[in-house]
Amino acid sequence: MAALTRFIEPLLDALPAWTRHPVAVTAGAALTLVAAAFLYLLVRARSSKFANLNGPAPANWLWGNMLQVIHGQPGEYNTIWFKEFGATVQVTALLGRKQIATGDLQAIGYILQHSYSFTKPASSNRILESVLGNGLLSSEGHKHRAQRRVLQPAFSPNHTKNLLPPFWAKSYELQEVWNRMVETGGDWDGPDPPSYTPPVPEDVVPGACKIDVLNTLNKLSLDILGLAGMNVELGALSNTGSELSDAYRDMANATHHMSALMIAEAWFPILKKIIPSKRRDIVEKNMRISAAHGMKLLQQKKLAIAKEREAGLKQDDDLAGEKDLLSLLIRANTEPDLREDQKLTDEEVLNQMTTFMFAGHETTSGTLSWCLEKLAYHPDIQEKLYAELAAVPDPEPTFDELMALPYLDKVVREIMRTDNPVIGTMRTPIEDVTLPLGSPVRGRDGKMLDSVTVPAGTEIFLSVLAVNTSEAVWGPDAKQFNPDRFDNPALQKVPGVFGNLLSFLGGARHCIGYRFAVLEIKAALFVMIRGFTFEPLPSRPKMEREWMIVQRPVVVGEKKLGPQMPLLVRKRE
């Protein structure tokens, strides 16, 4: 950029004085860079090794097909393109850059099996780092291996089992909140009501209440993560709140929609210095707040763990201190036999917690919201689930008892299949690779392609949504919500770590917290379905989805209010 600036400055001498202002010089340099990048990418696109791969024509000379992806429903256009051209397509991105999108099981399996030969693109990582810092989701290579090695013990099956008590405590606190709302017709004594808008007359139903379940489920998930993740009471459900819980909430609210500016910034970071962004200011402010709180907590826990070791205690001892995820992570990171090059810095440890808090909070609450909506529109499935859960005598069953409930397990798998919060992920090969295709596609020259040569640096979108709802895997009713489908084996094996689904990915970079997420979802559903029935609002508001890292529900006509999932909620007698 400095070289471009020096090149442009002489050209500006002949122009009016205002053009020699530093901002104008920088803007001119940026425009020159964009123009040069456009020409380079245009030439590269025409000589691409996968130019024969079919796909949609660019919809815009500057944005290619990206505005369709941004403005459409999550996954909408990939579904259209896969149906028209086959399971692997060529797509045009910003400035003519060519990408590949695939829902091909063999291609995706190959990429996931060779996890460290495919990195996340720099543009994707910039978006993740802008919200999460350099944590497990955005790190690569040696850093990722080191972070995962230290994190793994905290997410082991045994430690996940021990986290059930805060799941029960907070799920029953949510039940109390909803009980009060139903009893009072929706009155709320806190500053952040669980229903954004008062019900229209049609939605005022005796014995029931309109509740934005997403709002309170966000609070539930945040409180659970506070206790299980850090042993901190965030007070989101009780509306007592804290600066830290407000910071996580505000960051989530600021990033619920993928914008064109975010895409442009990811490819050209210089734009962050030129174009102001309220969203960016909110995120950066709250990242500083969470980092300050996190560092203070980190130092307190490190001191407590050092004292434990002086007393000869180990983390599995009954007398050892806190068993939250942050404490387990610090213990693993400070083990005496861990090599220095394998240890994480304090900043890296905090980035893991930011990643866990933000990503875990949004994904779990969204999944639960979609599940309640599906159950509201399928009362037969809701009542079948209730019958199984009501037969459990203990209001807080053990881990083994909860995980052994067969219909609950099928419902959770099915909602993770149809409405997974993450619709896809990006990868790029670190060197040229021949990608095998299990479902051959017809090339532009009319010949069938059973593999694609992909140059290093090419961005590949792996469509989780396409695989999870594939008729080739799940049969002709793949788009329908039907938990009983798991009574029979799937038609094809999916290269995922959970439930023959791609929801938590697979390979060395699968979601490390998937056991935690599944357990939290099951515990929350156990309490909610035993305590309430869920119905669509009589007014039937039109729902759509927005996408930024995860997909979220919004009400058409109320998008300015942010994500919400309004349902009619009744207490069970």
Segment 440-469, tens digit of pLDDT: 999 999 999 999 999 999 999 999 999 999
- Show Cβ contacts of residue 480 under 8 Å, excluding neighbours closer than 6 positions: none
d(CA 467, CA 513): 21
The pLDDT of residue 358 is: 75
Q: Which two tokens stand for residue 540?
A: 């039937």
Contact 547, 425 (CB under 8 A): no
Q: What is the pLDDT of residues 221-250, one digit of tens each?
A: 999 999 998 898 988 898 876 777 777 777
Enter the tokens of residue 548: 């930024």
pTM over 0.95: no
Domains of the chain: 48-571 (1.10.630.10)
Please, where are the H alpha helices in 311-445? 325-333, 346-377, 379-390, 399-403, 406-418
pLDDT of the chain, 573 residues: tens digit per residue: 444 344 344 434 444 454 445 544 455 555 555 555 554 455 454 447 889 999 999 999 888 998 898 888 888 999 999 999 999 999 999 889 999 999 999 999 999 999 999 999 887 777 777 766 777 877 888 888 888 888 888 888 888 998 999 999 999 999 999 999 999 877 655 555 555 578 889 999 999 999 999 999 999 999 999 999 889 898 889 887 677 777 777 777 766 666 666 667 766 777 777 777 777 788 778 788 888 888 888 889 888 888 888 877 665 554 446 788 888 888 888 888 888 888 888 888 888 888 888 777 889 999 999 999 999 999 999 999 999 999 999 999 999 999 999 999 999 999 999 999 999 999 999 999 999 999 999 999 999 999 999 999 999 999 999 999 999 999 999 999 999 999 999 999 999 999 999 999 999 999 999 999 999 999 999 999 999 999 999 999 999 998 877 889 999 999 888 899 999 999 997
| Element of type H or E holding 292 | helix 278-310
CA distances to 251, 523, 562 from 368, in Å: 20, 11, 17
